[in-house]
Amino acid sequence: MAGSTYGTIFKITTWGESHGKALGVVIDGCPAGLELNEADIQVYLNRRKPGQSNITTPRKEADEVEILSGVFEGKTTGAPISLMVRNTSQISKDYSDIASYYRPGHADYTFDAKYGFRDYRGGGRSSGRETIGRVSAGAIACKILKQLGIEVMAYTHSIGPIKIDEKCFEKEAILETKTAMPDRNADQNAVLYLENAMKNLDSVGGVMECRITGVPAGIGDPVFEKLDANLAKAMMSIGAVKAVEIGDGTCVSQSTGSTNNDSFCMENGQITKKTNHSGGILGGISDGSPIIIRAHVKPTPSIFSTQQTVNQAGEEIDINIKGRHDPIIVPRAVVVMESMAAITLLDAMMVNMSAKLESLERFYK
């Protein structure tokens, strides 16, 4: 339980450091019979790839994925799928300084406290590059969910004070804007805002949102394995996320029962809800409405202005971080959110298949 494995049946194990030889993931428990090739995964990895615009790190990485096992004649076999991405653009000398001190907002100090020393090059295991494994696995989970009629879609909801306008929501824009916002106007304002922050040698935070549609009612387990509990864990496990909301989220604490309760109603002979304050989950189990999740992301801790900290000798010092860093984490993290949501949901759906005795009887008789 050293923390690099996730999931009960659809189980992923990620590995790799920012400046090591490679990063990767092993996906165990992927159902047999799924058509899969590198391109299915590459399209997701490209969404988190660095160096794609002036508001991301200039580090250039091809991030090309290789399938090493688990696929035969174009289809998954049920055996573990091993995926690997070689690092190609490590410039470790950028990091020689930071070996000796603790960068504010980073995990340098806590890794040293836990393990006694650390791979300091680019944050080592605590780097954002760790998410390459998550996104590779997420691409597969999303492909399976799509075949079950379920769409998982994450996007940038706000950058600093700039929020998207629901009325301007344009799905295609997510993949086309620099910020991964689904609102082209908000995107333009956000880019200006980010450029200004970069001039100030500073960084900014933002909010990611994920909508999952097509989920049948009944997914998730009561008590500890609630679907929203696992989604919250999945989101908070993404570096830099400091808050997670489901549905109306923080607003519920200032609402009343008469407002917050969603009335059930009938629509085309199906039970549905008039509103969706619940964000698609009641009692930890999906209620058939879209699942809505928001994750609040802190500003990139690597900033170029002078900061105060201490070094391993216990001296208070001033530091100036070098290297290549994003002024905001959100746009490249959106696909990580989408991946973690998909992995979590798919796993819950697999576990759910034996909830009723009649399901077992139908399957085995």
Output the smallest distance, CB 200 to its own copies, in A. Answer: 8
Cβ nearer to its own copies, comparing 47 with 121: 121
Output the smallest distance, CB 149 to its own copies, in A. Answer: 7
Q: Where do we find the tokens 């949102």?
A: 209
Cβ nearer to its own copies, comparing 91 with 172: 91
Q: How far apart are CA 34 and CA 30, in angstroms?
A: 8
Output the smallest distance, CB 165 to its own copies, in A. Answer: 17
Choosing from 136, 158, 177, 339, the residue that interacts with its own copies (CB under 8 A) is 158
SS3 state at 338: helix
Among the listed residues 284, 352, 290, 336, the one whose alpha carbon sits nearest the alpha carbon of residue 142: 336
Cβ nearer to its own copies, comparing 172 with 257: 257
Choosing from 60, 93, 195, 264, the residue that interacts with its own copies (CB under 8 A) is 264
Q: Which of residues 318-337 bind its own copies (CB under 8 A)?
A: none
Query: Ramachandran region of residue 172, left (φ > 0), alpha (ψ -120 to 50) or beta?
Result: alpha
Q: Which of residues 172-231 bind its own copies (CB under 8 A)?
A: 197, 202-207, 216-226, 228-231
Structure tokens at 48: 């988190």
Among the listed residues 189, 206, 269, 264, the one whose alpha carbon sits nearest the alpha carbon of residue 240: 206
Output the smallest distance, CB 170 to its own copies, in A. Answer: 22
Rounded to 5°, angle at Cα 235 from 151 and 32:
50
Cβ nearer to its own copies, comparing 51 with 78: 78
Q: How far apart are CA 356 and CA 200, in angstroms?
A: 58
Cβ nearer to its own copies, comparing 104 with 172: 104
Q: Which stretch binds its own copies (CB under 8 A): 39-47, 57-65, 172-180, 280-288?
A: 280-288
Q: How far apart are CA 326 and CA 178, in angstroms?
A: 12
Question: Are the C-beta atoms of 98 and 321 separated by less than 8 Å?
Answer: yes
Cβ nearer to its own copies, comparing 166 with 224: 224
Q: Which stretch binds its own copies (CB under 8 A): 49-57, 164-172, 182-190, 269-277?
A: 269-277
Q: How far apart are CA 106 and CA 363, in angstroms?
A: 49
Question: Are the C-beta atoms of 189 and 179 separated by less than 8 Å?
Answer: no
Q: Does 237 bind its own copies (CB under 8 A)?
A: yes
Length of the chain: 365
Choosing from 141, 235, 333, 341, the residue that interacts with its own copies (CB under 8 A) is 235
Output the smallest distance, CB 350 to its own copies, in A. Answer: 4
CB-CB neighbours of 336 under 10 Å: 29
Residue 218 one-letter amino acid: G
Choosing from 93, 146, 171, 242, the residue that interacts with its own copies (CB under 8 A) is 242
Among the listed residues 40, 149, 28, 20, the one whose alpha carbon sits nearest the alpha carbon of residue 85: 20
Q: How far apart are CA 235 and CA 125, in angstroms?
A: 18
**How many binding residues for its own copies (CB under 8 A)?**
169
Structure tokens at 320: 């100036």
Q: Which of residues 79-138 bind its own copies (CB under 8 A)?
A: 79-82, 84, 102, 104-107, 109-111, 113-119, 121, 124-126, 130
Q: Which stretch binds its own copies (CB under 8 A): 42-50, 52-60, 62-70, 184-192?
A: 62-70
Q: How far is CA 359 from the centre of its chain?
A: 32
Q: Which stretch binds its own copies (CB under 8 A): 37-45, 47-55, 173-181, 264-272?
A: 264-272
Choosing from 56, 57, 179, 286, the residue that interacts with its own copies (CB under 8 A) is 286
Q: Which of residues 20-39 bind its own copies (CB under 8 A)?
A: 20-24, 26, 28-34
